[in-house]
Structure 1
Amino acid sequence: MEYISVKEAAKRWGLSERRVRLLCSLGKVDGAVKHGRAYRIPDETPKPPDGRSARRFKVSERYRGIFTRIDAMKAELDERRPFSEAELRRMRDEFAVEYTYDSNAIEGNTLTLRETALVLEGLTIDKKPLKDHLEAVGHKEAFSYVLSLVQEGAHISERVIREIHSLVLMDRPEERGRYRRIPVRILGAANTPPEPVTVPELMERLVADERESRLHPIERAALFHLRFENIHPFIDGNGRTGRLVLNLSLMQSGYPPVNVKFADRRRYYDAFESFPDDGGDAMVRLVSEYVEEELAKLLSFGKK
């Protein structure tokens, strides 16, 4: 029988080496044998099923049609696996530039899409603030970190959220990963974030509720995003961090990351304002539309 290494299996299955070793140690890789500290895996062994994505969830009746359509598209994409590693890398890099531009622009960054691309290539834009440059680089690094978390099968935790925030807030070293210690108000928002003394408890409860939730992954991710932004746990960087965690949640369940467009910022803000009245319906539908858009794009590319 021919065997492959953990490294070879990780590349073949699109997992991290750490994840493959963990699955071997748990007996979830058929035929894997241990020689010393290393595992050897039969060449014909299929990728083990991901138990994390297989957990049962309930679908709210008002979203049944939307989620059924989206999940059918996701299943078709999973069945095809139409892209090479190089194609996937190129699409992910292009997405990262647009995502970085839009997410930062929503928060007031003045770099254009083209300037953002140049900054991420290591260039400096004349007459643009250093802060804007650091925000672009920090967001790109934070997104790369999120991708690594997905590969490792990491769960959303307070530590993960703080680490994402630390990368996002590259220009504010004294506040990176630290919950706020002063009251804040969000300009133009009707709701006031909770007092700082309550933030640690609220964040602990938010993460615990996410782990226990049995809602459809898209609804779960959208509602987590709404609650996170309402807590507003950090002095700055909450929006960018929250949208990165939103994508971490989606990708953990096998959905593509989404990019909330700068052009859609009014609708995005309105979804927060309506949350107390609509229970998150506006945000769930917005995120669903973005997921469906990304899936349609991937399926379209796969047909070429």
Structure 2
Amino acid sequence: MSGYEPPLRITPACEALVGQVCNLVEKLERPGDGGKFWLDSLGELGRRENRIRVIHATLAIEGNTLPLETVRAILGGEYIADVTAQVLEAHNAGSAYDLLPELDPMSARDVLRAHGTMMSGLVPESGCFRSGGVGVFAGSVVVHAAPPADLVPQHMCHLLAWYQESTLHPLIKSAVFHYEFEFIHPFADGNGRTGRLWHSLLLGRWKEIFFWLPVEEFIRSRQQDYYRAFVVAGKEGDSSNFVELMLEIIRDSLTEVDVLGRSTDQDTDQDSV
């Protein structure tokens, strides 16, 4: 046992949101009754498009201004004459998300591998835990000072061990992991996009649907809430606010998929009349 226990209060809102998300997942996974199993109906092209949307959104959260069409072209292998840092970010993120099927979510070495792929050519310490101190800023104000660099490997090992040992529902403990990862801030740069990728990996190992759900678009639409929840959790020493927000975002992304799926089914039914 790691002995590590992240600060968390399971609120009634958390429990209610877990129930809502599970119901939506079950509905999207259920074949028959005139419905479709979402992943099957999505198909290869649909999965690829959702992955493009995920990468565009996770980079936009970090300030990348490339339009969706350009990200689609980069990930489609089209030649881009001007290979700027933003173009390299998109290319790297595509390669990192391609690793999802083979990454071990409980491996610190694979965390480093994912970061190394995500940040290759962008920072000197890609694929390495940071060697210096870092902070999270709101403008010029430090809102979070991360733990000292020499403690990062230990903190990450404890966090991974906690996740493996925890009996919490995967929806809750994956959101806690996301918060704790950002709190530790294990890298000099690229913490946000790597943390979101790992959250997708944890959820995807629970239910495959999460490998292809564009949750990051909903994080981007609530970006200020996302940052605010992180700051509030740090001040209160309780990540429940952040967990609730992530569960709301996951629920809303599943709801959109469900609504769009029912709309498509209705259009198909009308066309066949």
Task: Select the structure with the greater relative contact order (CA < 8 A; seq sep ≥ 6).
Answer: 2
Kept after mapping to 1: 8 A contact 2:28/2:38:
no
Q: Provide the rounded CA distance (Å) in 2 between the counterparts of 1:85 and 1:243.
A: 25
Letter of the structure 2 residue corresponding to residue 167 of structure 1: T
| Structure 2 partner of 1:65 | 16
Q: TM-score, with normalisation over the residues of structure 2?
A: 0.80
Are 1:131 and 2:85 an aligned pair?
A: yes
Partner of 1:265: 223
Contact 1:156 / 1:249 at 8 angstroms: preserved in 2? Answer: no
Residues 229 and 242, structure 1, Cα contact 8 Å, conserved in 2:
yes
The answer as to whether partners of 2:55 and 2:93 remain within 8 angstroms in 1 is: yes
CA distance in 1, matches of 2:241, 2:57: 20
Equivalence map 1:136-285=2 (5 Å): 136-149=90-103, 154-172=104-122, 174-188=124-138, 189-254=142-207, 256=210, 257=213, 258-259=215-216, 260-276=218-234, 277=236, 279-285=238-244
Question: Structure 1 residues 102-111 or 227-236, which shifts more?
Answer: 102-111
* Contact 1:271–1:283 (8 Å) recurs in 2: yes
Can you list the C-alpha shifts for 1:68-122, whole angstroms capped at 9, x where unaligned?
A: 1221221222222525757332222111111111111111212122222222223
- Indicate conservation of the 8 Å contact 2:28/2:37, yes or no: yes
Deviations along 1:195-253, one digit per CA (max 9) or x if unpaired, are 11111111111111111111121111111111111111111111110000011111111
Which SS does the other structure have where 2:55 is aligned? helix
Bigger helix fraction: 2
Structure 1: which 5+ residue stretches go unaligned? 1-58
Question: Is the deviation greater in 205-214 or in 183-192?
Answer: 183-192
Give the aligned length: 242
Instruction: State the one-letter code of the partner of 2:133.
Output: P
Q: Which of 64, 70, 73 is equivalent to 1:115?
A: 70
Matching residue's letter, 1:131: A
| Letter of the structure 1 residue corresponding to residue 221 of structure 2 | A
Distance in 2 between residues matched to 1:263 and 1:65, nearest whole Å: 22
Amino acid at match of 2:16: G
Corresponding residue SS for 2:137: coil
Judged with a 3 Å threshold, the aligned counterparts in structure 2 of structure 1 residues 180 and 292 are, in CA distance, closer, same or farther, namely same
Q: CA RMSD in A?
A: 2.4
CA distance in 1, matches of 2:184, 2:73: 34
Give the secondary-structure state (helix, strand or coil) at the position aligned to 1:190: strand
Deviation at 1:64, TM superposition (A): 2.1
Match of 1:92 in 2: 47
Larger Rg: 1
| Residue identity in the other structure for 2:153 | P
Q: In the alignment, what sits opposite 2:255?
A: 296
Secondary structure at the counterpart of residue 136 of structure 2: coil
Partner of 2:270: none
Say if 1:239 and 1:73 are closer, same or farther in 2 by CA, change over 3 A: same
Give the whole-Å Cα distance in 1 for the aligned partners of 2:155 and 2:135. Answer: 17
Q: Residue type of the partner of 1:244?
A: L
User: Residues 13 and 244 of structure 2 are in contact (CA less than 8 Å); yes or no, is this contact kept in structure 1?
Assistant: no
Establish whether residue 78 from structure 1 lines up as the match of residue 32 from structure 2. no
Whole-Å Cα distance in 2 between the matches of residues 115 and 247 of structure 1?
23
Once residues 131 and 196 of structure 1 are traced to their aligned partners in structure 2, the CA distance between those partners, rounded to angstroms, is 26
